[in-house]
Amino acid sequence: MRKILITLTVALALPVSALASGDAAAGKAKSTVCAACHGANGKSPIPNYPHLAGQQAAYLELSLKAYKNKERTGANAAIMYGMVANLSDKDIADLAAFYSSLEP
Residue 93 found at the interface with ligand HEC (CB under 6 A): no
Query: 61: which residues sit within 8 A by CB, 6+ positions away?
Result: 19, 20, 22, 92, 93, 96
Residue 72 found at the interface with ligand HEC (CB under 6 A): yes
Residue 60 found at the interface with ligand HEC (CB under 6 A): yes
102, 92 in Cβ contact below 8 A?
no
Residue choice 57, 64, 93, 102 for contact with ligand HEC (CB under 6 A): 64
What sign does the CA torsion over 63, 79, 68, 35 have? negative
Q: Between 8 and 90, name the residue whose CB sits nearer to ligand HEC.
A: 90
Q: Between 4 and 98, name the residue whose CB sits nearer to ligand HEC.
A: 98
CA 92 to CA 6: how far, in whole Å?
Answer: 30
| Residues lying near ligand HEC in the complex (CB under 6 A) | 33-34, 36-38, 49-50, 52, 60, 63-64, 72, 75-77, 79-80, 83, 95
